[in-house]
Amino acid sequence: MGNLALGLESLYKISFEQAVLAALMTINGSIESLPAGFDGHVFFAERHQLIYAAICALDRKNQPYDATMVFEEIKDNGTLELAGGEPYLLKLLAESPSSLYNIGAYADKLIDLAARRQALNALDTARSHLLSNPDTPAQEVIAGAVAGALESCADNADSEADVKELMRGFIHNIENPNPLKRGYHTGFEKLTNTLNGLRAGQLIVVGARPGLGKTTLAMNIADGVMADTGKQVLFFSMEMEKPELMERYMSSVTGVPLHNIRSGQLSDEQRSEIFRKSAVILQERKLTIDDQSKRAPHQIMLTARRAMRKAPVGLIVVDYLQLMTHPEYRENRFQEISAISRDLKAMAKDLGCPVLALAQLNREAAKPGVKPRIDHMGESGQIERDADVILLLHRDEIEKNDDAPPEHLPGETELIIAKHRNGPKGTIKLIFEASCSRYVEKEAYGAGGHNDF
């Protein structure tokens, strides 16, 4: 920390760090009360980072994280001396403040201090570049520094928004257009019947090449679960931002073309349909969208646990798997993806709800005449072992001409059930209506069989 070396002690609070660690090791289940954005980087002291990493590792293994267990975890990792040893753990507990239940306030302060350190380091790096790289345009260096400083703050910003918050913004944009024992129903009858619904504890993986509509399918399934159960859905989007997802969702449920919604070019009938469906969504749908990038499994777990204290969760969606990170395996991508897959499966079991994870397929799956396979997913071995269901999207774009099969429809897509741990595999025909960002079953296409409500 370059700036900290200059004596900026106000950018860290060792006593607050000690208080948080003492609370975690004293109060059972206290890790669930940590705010969004709290991670190991908020600790300035290296020994505190190691202790917190041990606490998180124990929590992921569903083991208690009291001082004794933390001591054993650190010892097994070979970092006992760096963490201060058993005497320091005992000191943390003995000298911690009496107000251990203020962990939330301490944690918020540490997040703010960490953001300040990161921002100052970004500016410090820019200063060095300005002095040592006179040929680099100053604008470019300064823009990079500002972006880095803003990113350090944005990482810790509140990235969750429930459907009421999103709807207010959505309606505002419509009115002020700017050009700029069966499991849960999936919204698709054949898919639901084949899978016997989505069940608690299941990890469902949807794989496809970019542009085939993985996110669209996930939103359609999420709406099906909400309509069927009345439970909330948590949608973790590491690629798209909340307003974009809200636009797609509203286009899907109303049938109003996405282009019209974004451009504000709406007929009176379209506006009426949007307002009608908006009222229904506010009453009947419970959707929370989190668009923070580079989420780690334990962060999603903490967010989900907080949400579950307010209302039951019917489905967790992760978009998408390869954009996630894992703090323990950042140097080895194969091990990182494998660990993420294992943690997502454990999350589904621990939280008692299905987890739907999207995955990108490699370029091999995009070659003409090639149908997607499970091994087209990068680092697919562990994913295949962990997933209860693997769905693959495949679409051959055939122009409507004399050579096209008469039964083929524009946007016709195969939803391939490539793995089904507890039932049959097969292929379901869907139609991708790109204009309004939704899939419908081929049999229902044109017959009013959309996911209406």
The domain segmentation of the chain, as residue ranges, is 4-154, 160-444
Q: Is the pLDDT of residue 378 over 80?
A: no
User: Regarding predicted confidence, which is higher, 153 or 437?
Assistant: 437
DSSP code, position 35? P
The reported pLDDT for the residue numbered 447 is 52
> How is residue 372 annotated by DSSP?
P
> What pLDDT was estimated at residue 145?
56
* Residue 446 to residue 393: CA distance in whole angstroms: 21
Burial of 137 (0-12, 13-18, 19+ CB in 10 A): exposed
**Type of residue numbered 36:** A
Contact 65, 25 (CB under 8 A): yes
List, as one string, the DSSP characters of 66-115: SHHHHHHHHHHHT-TTTTTHHHHHHHHHHHS-S-GGGHHHHHHHHHHHHH
Q: Residue 294: is its pLDDT beyond 60? A: yes
- Distance CA(427)–CA(391), nearest Å, equals 9
CA angle 219, 257, 235 (to 5 degrees): 15
In the predicted structure, residue 405 carries a pLDDT above the cut 80: no
Selected residue with higher pLDDT from 328 and 431: 431
**Token pair of 35 as six digits:** 């705010």
SS3 147: helix
389 pLDDT above the threshold of 80 = yes
Q: Can you tell me which residue has the tokens 């948590």?
A: 234
- CATH number for 160-444 (one of 3.10.28.10, 3.40.50.300, 2.170.150.20, 3.40.50.720): it is 3.40.50.300
Q: Is the pLDDT of residue 157 over 70?
A: no
Coil, helix or strand for 189?
helix
4-154 is classed CATH 3.60.15.10: no
Confidence class for position 446, pLDDT limits 50, 70, 90: low
Of 54-58, 132-136, 209-213, 355-359, the range with the highest mean pLDDT is 355-359
Region of residue 257 (left: phi > 0; alpha: psi -120 to 50; beta: else): beta
Question: Residue 53 and residue 104: Cα distance in Å, rounded?
Answer: 18
Nearest to 20 by CA among 87, 99, 138, 129: 99
Q: Which residue blocks in 255-313 are alpha helix, DSSP H?
A: 258-263, 268-284, 297-310
How many whole angstroms separate alpha carbon 79 and alpha carbon 247? Answer: 49
In this predicted model, what pLDDT tens digit does every residue of 47-58 receive, in sequence order? 898 989 888 888
- For residues 74 and 150, the model is more confident at 74
Distance between CA atoms of 315 and 219, rounded to whole angstroms? 11
CA dihedral (94, 98, 104, 106) in degrees, to 10, reads -70
- Residues 211/366, Cβ–Cβ less than 8 Å: no
Structure tokens at 403: 């050579």
- 368 has pLDDT over 90: no
- pLDDT tens profile 235-284: 999 888 888 998 898 888 888 888 888 888 888 888 888 888 888 787 77
Beta pairing class for 355-360 and 313-319 = parallel
pLDDT higher than threshold 60 for residue 6: no
Taking residues 214-242, what's their average pLDDT?
Answer: 91
Least confident of 136-140, 269-273, 403-407: 403-407
From the list 170, 161, 173, 183, the residue with the least C-alpha distance to 287 is 161
d(CA 342, CA 344): 6
Q: For all residues of the chain together, what is the average pLDDT? A: 80
pTM, 2 dp:
0.65
Range in 301-305, 378-382, 440-444 the model is least confident about:
378-382
Helix, strand or coil for residue 356?
Answer: strand
Of the candidates 18, 95, 92, 82, the residue with the CA atom closest to the CA atom of residue 50: 82
Report whether pLDDT(340) > 60.
yes
d(CA 261, CA 244): 11
Q: Does the pLDDT of residue 399 top 50, yes or no? A: no
Report helix, strand or coil for 295.
Answer: coil
Cβ neighbours for 417, distance < 8 A, ≥ 6 positions apart: 191, 194, 195, 389, 390, 391, 424, 425, 426, 427, 428
423-443 core/surface letters (b: 16 or more CB in 10 A; e: else):
eeeeebbbbbbeebbbbbbbe
Cβ-proximal residues to 128 (8 Å cutoff; 6+ apart), any chain: none
Answer with the residue of higher pLDDT: 90 or 142: 90
Of the candidate ranges 7-16, 172-181, 231-240, the one whose mean pLDDT is the lowest: 172-181
| 398 pLDDT tier (thresholds 50, 70, 90) | very low
Residue 177 banded pLDDT, cuts 50, 70, 90: low
The better pLDDT of the pair 203, 101 is held by: 203
Residues 89 and 70: beta-carbon distance below 8 Å: yes
Confidence of residue 361 (pLDDT cuts 50, 70, 90): confident
Q: What is the pLDDT of residue 255?
A: 85
Is 173 in contact with 262 (CB distance < 8 Å)?
no
pLDDT exceeds cutoff 90 at 205: yes
The confidence band for 24, taking pLDDT boundaries of 50, 70 and 90, is confident
445 vs 412: which has the higher pLDDT: 412
Residues of the chain above pLDDT 90, percent: 15
